[in-house]
Chains A and B, each alone.
Chain A
């Protein structure tokens, strides 16, 4: 049973990941990523990481993906253009990724970790439960917890500063546009409507 669930979730995760990379429309990429994240949550459950799985579904597949969908809808279709200025670079990139995968596989399978070929040890009753994780966050990992909360605050303020529309911005853009765009390049007015 566990093996069957693992393979179904693994195929869904890899399929979602391939969908993200291969879809030309970013909206479909985001939807493929949602499928990938849910499959990963199933894998987390198989690894007895219940709180991690719940956080994955609620925070990632819920909140972060909604943010992505909003931005895709706001910015528009943005499909990759067909004309590719650097075909050689694009062709070697999958080769590089394949070499990286082979290298990682050799590193994983050739490691001298004894427990890597086992199911994992027998676990205590509350392994992966929110109580255990929360206790660790408030005792052993208190400093990372506070650092990460400060990071979230900085990111929220940074996003408001980056994306906020302030008074002088429109003039700034109209002044800056001629120098930013080379003469022959069309401005973004012919952007496809999503």
Chain B
């Protein structure tokens, strides 16, 4: 397959993830949609590594995976803390920091 197909697919996955971040209201699903965006970027990095015959893209993709794992850990910790504090699980209603 041409490298361009992989790049188009990665752009499509990224856009689906962006839609999820914008449309959904549960913070949990927004985190999952963020994972989709990161994975779309990972696919593009792996495709470019294949295209240039170097490993740099793959190393970058691994670093992105680790950063995604950190983001998940902190994000899920925040969600559990929100649940414990009985805050509403809706990003539209979470405006405690305003004013």
Q: Which chain A residues have a beta carbon within 8 Å of chain B's beta carbons?
A: 2-3, 6, 10, 13-14, 17-18, 20-21, 26, 29-30, 33, 36-37, 40, 43-44, 46-49, 51-52, 55-56, 59-60, 63-64, 67-68, 71-72, 74-75, 78-81, 85-86, 89-90, 93-94, 96-98, 100-101, 104-105, 108-109, 113, 115-121, 123-124, 127-128, 132-133, 136-137, 141, 144, 148, 151-152, 154-156, 158-163, 165, 169, 173, 176-177, 180-181, 185, 187-188, 191
Closest to B80 in A: A163
Interchain CA distance A93-B79 in the complex, whole Å: 24
Point out the residue from B13, B23, B50, B66 that lies within 8 Å of A47, measured CB to CB.
Answer: B50
Nearest residue in B to A108 (C-beta to C-beta)?
B7
Known: A49-B46, A162-B77. A59 touches B65 (CB 8 A): yes
Residue of B nearest to A100 (CB): B15
Q: State the Cβ distance, A140 to closest chain B Cβ, in Å.
A: 8
- In the bound complex, residues from chain B placing their C-beta under 8 Å from that of A96 are 18-19, 22
Report the Cα distance A64→B74, complex, angstroms.
12
**Interface of B (DSSP majority class):** helix
Closest to B69 in A: A64
Specify the chain A residue showing the minimal Cβ separation from B17.
Answer: A17
Residue contacts A-B, CB under 8 angstroms, 21 given: A20-B29, A21-B16, A26-B28, A36-B39, A47-B47, A47-B49, A48-B50, A56-B65, A75-B80, A81-B90, A93-B22, A108-B7, A120-B50, A123-B53, A151-B70, A154-B70, A156-B73, A173-B86, A177-B85, A177-B86, A188-B87
Q: Indicate whether A49 sits within 8 Å of B16 (C-beta atoms), given known contacts A81-B90, A93-B23, A158-B77.
A: no
Q: Given the complex, which residues of B lie within 8 Å of A30, measured CB to CB?
A: 32
A-side contacts of B7, CB under 8 Å: 108, 116
Which residue of A20, A108, A160 contacts B4 across the interface (Cβ within 8 Å)?
A108
Query: Please, which residues of chain B bring their CB within 8 A of the CB of A137?
Result: 59, 62
Q: Are A152 and B69 in contact (CB under 8 A)?
A: yes
Whether B76 pairs with A159 at a CB distance below 8 angstroms is yes
Q: B79: which A residues are within 8 A, CB to CB?
A: 71, 75
Cα A6 to Cα B2 in complex, Å, equals 11
Whose C-beta in chain B lies nearest to the C-beta of A103?
B11
Q: What separation, in Å, do the CA atoms of A165 and B83 have in the docked complex? A: 12
Cα separation A26 to B58 with both chains bound (whole Å) = 30
| Contact status A80-B24, CB under 8 Å | yes
Assembled-state Cα–Cα distance A93/B25 (Å) = 13
Q: Which residues of B contact A48 (CB under 8 A)?
A: 50
